[in-house]
């Protein structure tokens, strides 16, 4: 589904300095795979999402999505960010249909689909509410629906639960898994939380900072559907501590 | 219901009572100390005198009103597109923004006499003064609002391959509306001041002229009357914009109340 080959990205600052954000990253993501990217701040996790979506060009290497070389933005992606960034003047339904409108498609034809998504995301009865009337978790559900309404094959999530409180965060992880079970997508998911990364993913990609490189990739062989109790499972704990020590040791080397 | 009542009480009744109280004390001080009417007139005196001049004052109010609205309309009509251009074109921004800041720091009151010299003593020069003072907050606030669109929303629109124009109409401009309106609110108040300053410098019409003429004939009561009408004019214009803001972006006002 996604082939990232020896991709590097160098940003040019306003002072004309060159800052390497990611270097020599190679990664292959299978169709309908759930891949999480973890690592400390500044390891270029978000940059990888932007590169894959074509929002910013690569400095070196190539990215292919479904055999197509990525050179510009393409609409077959759904984005979810850390902040819900909903439009305050639109209702829940209006915000979900925003994607359709921006894609230049007819909103009418997607109303049924929006209804299904609203049901799936547990937003029934909130269709005509405005974002300010919703909690942070509910707003993020709307943002997820907005990312799914045009049925993209690729979902890019940039710390989507990072701004939520711990309890809502855990709840939303399971909600996302439930939605994903129903609507299979290829997901690239960036997070700071190691347990979250393990709980969600088929594979966890651990990155090191400055410039961002892939340190190691962990296959998560925990059975699906994932449940809350798995966090007390020996395999889960082992993975958690292994990834933790990997990130912390690379941090020490860096400094 | 109870809390709504008390909010109305706090917002309107209390200040109204305070105003009435001040007027009563003012009138009383005047009666007790026998202050000369031509220095500081009593409220009752102001009212009687203003009432006598009502027809002519309506004419002068009308002149100041359309000078204000003319200057305000010009500043919106020129300031808003300019703000859009500044946000979308970095070269233009670098070229123009420093000059705008310098232009802003020139006291407009000081250039009013020159404007009158160039444009004549008619209404046009007052409209231009009002425009000059009202223009800057509209440009700055609108540009700030447009530049403040969350980067994620712009990325989202780009990933859907929506055009710049569509993104502007559907996302950036509506997002900037609260800023645009706060610019309008500052601008309308300044436009009134601009029009009056223009009239001070030289005119034979408008409330600014009434204030200058009345004081030079020691008609303090009439001058006070004109000032009160001017204040009411400014408040009404300001409130009209507040009402339009509530209609155009109701989500914003109710967000603030939380």
A10 in Cβ contact with A20 (< 8 Å) = yes
B159 closest CB neighbour out of A79, A85, A88: A79
Best to test chain B binding among A89, A102, A149, A153 (most B CBs inside 10 Å): A102
Chain mean position to CA B133:
10
Q: How far away is chain A from the Cα of B80, in angstroms, using its nearest Cα?
A: 21
B257 in Cβ contact with B238 (< 8 Å) = no
Structure letter (DSSP) for residue B58:
H
- Averaged pLDDT, groups of 10, chain A, 255 residues long: 93 88 93 93 88 94 92 92 93 95 91 90 91 92 93 93 87 89 92 93 91 91 86 91 87 55
Q: How far away is chain A from the Cα of B251, in angstroms, using its nearest Cα?
A: 6
- Looking at residue A171, its pLDDT comes to 87
Of residues B203 and B9, more confidence is placed in B203
- Looking at residue B255, its pLDDT comes to 45
For A133, nearest residue in chain B (alpha carbons): B255
Place B33 in a pLDDT band, splitting at 50, 70 and 90: confident
- Tell me whether residues B159 and A50 touch, CB distance under 8 A: no
Place B254 in a pLDDT band, splitting at 50, 70 and 90: very low
- Looking at residue A255, its pLDDT comes to 45
Q: What is the pLDDT of residues B130-185, one digit of tens each?
A: 999 999 999 999 999 999 999 999 999 999 999 999 999 999 999 999 999 999 99
Burial code (b: 16+ CB inside 10 Å, e: under 16) for B229-240 equals: bbeebbeebbee
B95 in Cβ contact with B160 (< 8 Å) = no
Q: What is the pLDDT of residues B148-163, one digit of tens each?
A: 999 999 999 999 999 9
- pTM (2 decimals)? 0.85
Q: How far away is chain B from the Cα of A105, in angstroms, using its nearest Cα?
A: 11
- Looking at residue A64, its pLDDT comes to 94
- Looking at residue A217, its pLDDT comes to 94
A101 closest CB neighbour out of B155, B170, B251: B170
Place B44 in a pLDDT band, splitting at 50, 70 and 90: confident
Cα atoms found within 13 Å of the Cα of residue B145, Cβ hemisphere only: 24
- Tell me whether residues A87 and B175 touch, CB distance under 8 A: yes
Mean pLDDT of B215-240: 92
Residues 134-173 of B with CB under 8 A from A: 150, 152-153, 155-162, 166-167, 170-171
Chain B CB contacts of A151 below 8 Å: none
Chain A CB contacts of B167 below 8 Å: 102
Chain B CB contacts of A98 below 8 Å: 170
Q: What are phi and psi of A104, to 5 degrees?
A: 80, 25
Encode chain A in three state secondary structure. CEEEEEEEEEEECCCCCEEEEEEEEEEEECCCCEEEEECCCCCCHHHHHHHHHCCCCCCEEEEEECCEECCCCCCCEEEECCCCCCCCCCCHHHHHHHHHHHCCCCHHHHHHHHHHHHHHCCCCCCCCCCHHHCCHHHHHHHHHHHHHCCCCCEEEEECCCCCCCHHHHHHHHHHHHHHHHHCCCEEEEEECCHHHHHHHCCEEEEEECCCEEEEEEEECCCCCCCCHHHHHCHHHHHHHHHHHHHHHHHHHHHC
A127 in Cβ contact with A118 (< 8 Å) = yes
CA-based nearest residue to B170, from A74, A99, A76, A150: A99
For A50, nearest residue in chain B (alpha carbons): B155
Instruction: Please determine, for residue B2, whether its predicted confidence score (pLDDT) is greater than 60.
Output: no
Instruction: Please determine, for residue B4, whether its predicted confidence score (pLDDT) is greater than 80.
Output: no
Q: Which residues contact B195 (CB under 8 A, 6 or more apart)?
A: B64, B67, B68, B71, B126, B127, B129, B130, B206, B208
Q: How far away is chain B from the Cα of A65, in angstroms, using its nearest Cα?
A: 14
Q: Which residues contact B188 (CB under 8 A, 6 or more apart)?
A: B68, B72, B134, B234, B237, B238, B241
- Looking at residue A167, its pLDDT comes to 86
For A74, nearest residue in chain B (alpha carbons): B159
Place B253 in a pLDDT band, splitting at 50, 70 and 90: low
Instruction: Please determine, for residue B201, whether its predicted confidence score (pLDDT) is greater than 80.
Output: yes
- Tell me whether residues B258 and A132 touch, CB distance under 8 A: yes
- Tell me whether residues A88 and B252 touch, CB distance under 8 A: yes
Instruction: Tell me the residues of A at the B interface, defined by beta carbons under 8 Å apart.
Output: 50, 53-55, 73-75, 77, 79, 81, 83, 85, 87-89, 98-99, 101-104, 130, 132
- Looking at residue B45, its pLDDT comes to 85
A132 closest CB neighbour out of B166, B167, B255: B255
Best to test chain B binding among A75, A89, A139 (most B CBs inside 10 Å): A89
Q: What is the pLDDT of residues B69-128, one digit of tens each?
A: 999 999 999 999 999 999 999 899 899 888 888 888 888 788 888 988 899 888 899 999
The helix or strand, by DSSP H or E, that contains position B132, with its residue range, turns out to be helix B123-147
Q: How far away is chain B from the Cα of A166, in angstroms, using its nearest Cα?
A: 23
What is the count of residue pairs from A and B with beta carbons less than 8 Å apart? 57
CA-based nearest residue to A159, from A48, A7, A19: A48
Mean pLDDT of B36-59: 86
Q: How far away is chain A from the Cα of B159, in angstroms, using its nearest Cα?
A: 5
- Tell me whether residues A87 and B171 touch, CB distance under 8 A: yes
- Tell me whether residues A79 and B157 touch, CB distance under 8 A: no
Instruction: Please determine, for residue B258, whether its predicted confidence score (pLDDT) is greater than 60.
Output: no
């Amino acid at each position: 589904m996604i082939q990232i080959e020896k991709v590097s990205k160098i940003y040019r600052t306003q002072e004309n300095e060159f800052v390497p954000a990611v270097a020599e990253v190679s990664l292959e993501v299978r169709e309908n795979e759930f891949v999480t990217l973890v690592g400390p701040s500044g390891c270029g996790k978000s940059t990888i999402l932007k590169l894959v979506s074509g929002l910013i060009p690569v400095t070196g290497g190539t990215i292919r999505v479904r055999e197509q070389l990525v050179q510009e933005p393409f609409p077959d992606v759904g984005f979810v960010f850390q902040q819900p960034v909903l439009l305050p003047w639109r209702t829940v339904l209006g915000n979900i249909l925003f994607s359709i409108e921006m894609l230049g498609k007819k909103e009418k034809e997607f109303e049924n689909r929006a209804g299904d998504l609203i049901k799936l995301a547990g937003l029934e009865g909130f269709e005509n509410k405005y974002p300010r009337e919703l909690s942070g978790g509910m707003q993020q559900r709307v943002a997820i629906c907005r990312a799914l309404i045009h049925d993209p094959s690729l979902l890019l999530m940039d710390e989507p639960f990072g701004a939520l409180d711990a309890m809502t965060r855990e709840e939303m992880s399971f909600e996302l898994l439930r939605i994903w079970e129903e609507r299979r997508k290829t997901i690239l998911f960036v997070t700071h939380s190691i347990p979250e990364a393990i709980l969600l993913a088929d594979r966890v990609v651990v990155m090191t900072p400055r410039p961002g490189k892939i340190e190691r990739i962990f296959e998560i062989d925990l059975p699906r559907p994932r449940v809350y109790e798995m966090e007390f499972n020996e395999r889960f704990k082992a993975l958690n501590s292994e990834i933790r020590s990997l990130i912390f040791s690379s941090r020490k080397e860096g400094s | 219901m109870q809390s709504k009542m008390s909010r109305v009480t706090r917002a309107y009744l209390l200040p109204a009572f305070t105003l009435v109280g001040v007027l009563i004390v003012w009138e009383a001080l005047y009666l007790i100390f026998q202050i000369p009417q031509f220095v500081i007139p009593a409220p009752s005196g102001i009212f009687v005198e203003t009432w006598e001049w009502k027809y002519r004052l309506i004419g002068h109010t009308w002149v100041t009103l359309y000078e204000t609205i003319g200057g305000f309309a010009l500043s919106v009509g020129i300031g808003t597109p300019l703000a859009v251009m500044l946000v979308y074109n970095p070269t233009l921004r670098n070229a123009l923004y420093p000059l705008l800041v310098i232009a802003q720091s020139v006291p407009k009151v000081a250039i009013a006499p020159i404007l009158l010299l160039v444009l004549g003593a008619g209404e046009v020069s007052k409209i231009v003064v009002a425009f000059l003072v009202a223009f800057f907050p509209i440009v700055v606030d609108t540009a700030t609002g447009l530049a403040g669109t969350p980067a994620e929303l712009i990325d989202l629109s780009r990933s859907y391959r929506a055009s710049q124009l569509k993104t502007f109409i559907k996302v950036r401009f509506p997002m900037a509306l609260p800023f645009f309106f706060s610019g309008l609110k500052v601008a309308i108040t300044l436009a009134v001041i601009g029009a009056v300053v223009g009239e001070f410098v030289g005119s034979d019409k408008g409330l600014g002229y009434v204030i200058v003429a009345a004081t030079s004939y020691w008609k303090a009561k009439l001058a006070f009357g004109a000032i009160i009408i001017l204040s009411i004019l400014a408040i009404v214009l300001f409130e009209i914009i507040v009402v339009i803001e509530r209609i155009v972006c109701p989500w914003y006002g109710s967000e603030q109340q939380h």
